[in-house]
Structure 1
Amino acid sequence: MAFWQLTRLRVVYPIVLLFLLFVDGSLMSGMGGIFTAFPWHILPVLTLGWLFYAVQFDAETDMPFWLYVILIGVLFDMYYTGIFGTYTLAFVSSVAVMMQLHKVLDERLLSGLFMFLVGLIVYLLVTYVAGFITGVSSVGLTAFMLFEVMPTVILNVMIAAVGYYPVWSLFQFLR
């Protein structure tokens, strides 16, 4: 692999990751009335989706991936919650689970979407437990699973499925 190709991925990937950090918040801000219509609470997590694509398409071997995961978690904590550690732990644990599943699963779309589904559920459960411990969340686990996890999973898995092949093509171009 030529140096300019390696540099291209190392430059484009974190820029898109940072951009998606702000797109997540903008979507929630702009479409909050739709995403939080009672009783549903849907979270767009495009940032986690971008991390999933790096794991699925083996891009983490070409860049300092764990550094990006930790930095985006810290930025997420600072920008959105102000409680340090919640999203950092959520991103790290979710990506770790997806990387372990990636060793077992193949490169097909459905295997990748299953890997993203499990990673997304881990991400949501870590944030739920952290919110429950800090007293920010008071909803029961059943209501959380039914009214937040289910619609969030549906939205984000559909987005991941639509973007799967275009992002794969982008990663092939950047390599």
Structure 2
Amino acid sequence: MLKKTRINIFVPLTLFIALLLDGVIASVFSAQMYTATSDMVPRLIIVCTIIFAFYIDRSYMILFGILLGLLYDSYYVGILGIYTSLLPAMIYLSDKLKKILNPNLLVLIMITILQLSLTEFLLYGFYMVIDLATIDVTTFLANRLGPTLLLNTLLLVVLYYPLKKLADAITRD
């Protein structure tokens, strides 16, 4: 019972803080992150979700992914459904990958790069379909995808051990 309570309190709280920090980081460091030659987009909510998906039960994480995806969509995007479907899909993929891969920092870096790339491509494709994308594919790859992957990989390296410790503390009996 205590474990379930810890999961229901600390995981959504941590993910909510990550959601807020996405906007704070983008706002505070906007001069450094959004230049004429590159756009670095912090995806802290995705990084934290992937880490937690490796250590917390899938059923809890998918529910939290849906709720936080809906919140992310309503707060940042304005179009409901994009992150509401992307976050649970990433959790499901992470859950399947954790069964065949050993969850260590290197594996999580590779999975994060894979899932962030997939997310950015899906978002770019979605915005192309509704005619909101203003850049071509090569510009997207060079100026947006690369810098975004670099930033979020660095965030993962910094946050991995504290979030793993938190996940271990939450799930211990």
> In the alignment, what sits opposite 1:105?
101
> In the alignment, what sits opposite 1:60?
57
Q: Read off the aligned partner of 1:138 and give its amino acid letter.
A: T
> In the alignment, what sits opposite 2:8?
10
Which deviates more from structure 2 when the two are superposed, residues 147-156 or residues 103-112?
A: 103-112
The Cα shift of 1:94 comes to 2.9
Change (3 A) 1:132 1:92: farther
Which deviates more from structure 2 when the two are superposed, residues 116-125 or residues 99-108?
A: 99-108
Q: Percent identity?
A: 24
> In the alignment, what sits opposite 2:124?
128
Give the aligned length.
Answer: 171
CA distance in 2, matches of 1:20, 1:69: 12
**Contact 2:50 2:90 (C-alpha < 8 Å) held by counterparts:** no
Unpaired stretches in structure 2, ≥5 consecutive residues: none
1:33-66 per-residue CA deviation (whole Å, 9 max, x = no partner) reads 1111111001111101111111222x134x6221
Q: Read off the aligned partner of 2:27 and give its amino acid letter.
A: S
**Contact 2:61 2:91 (C-alpha < 8 Å) held by counterparts:** no
CA distance in 2, matches of 1:92, 1:141: 26
> In the alignment, what sits opposite 2:32?
34
> Aligned Cα RMSD in Å?
1.6
The Cα shift of 1:127 comes to 0.9
1:78-103 per-residue CA deviation (whole Å, 9 max, x = no partner) reads 11121122222332333333333223
Q: Read off the aligned partner of 2:37 and give its amino acid letter.
A: P
Whose RCO is larger (CA < 8 A, sep 6+)?
2
SS at match of 1:151: helix
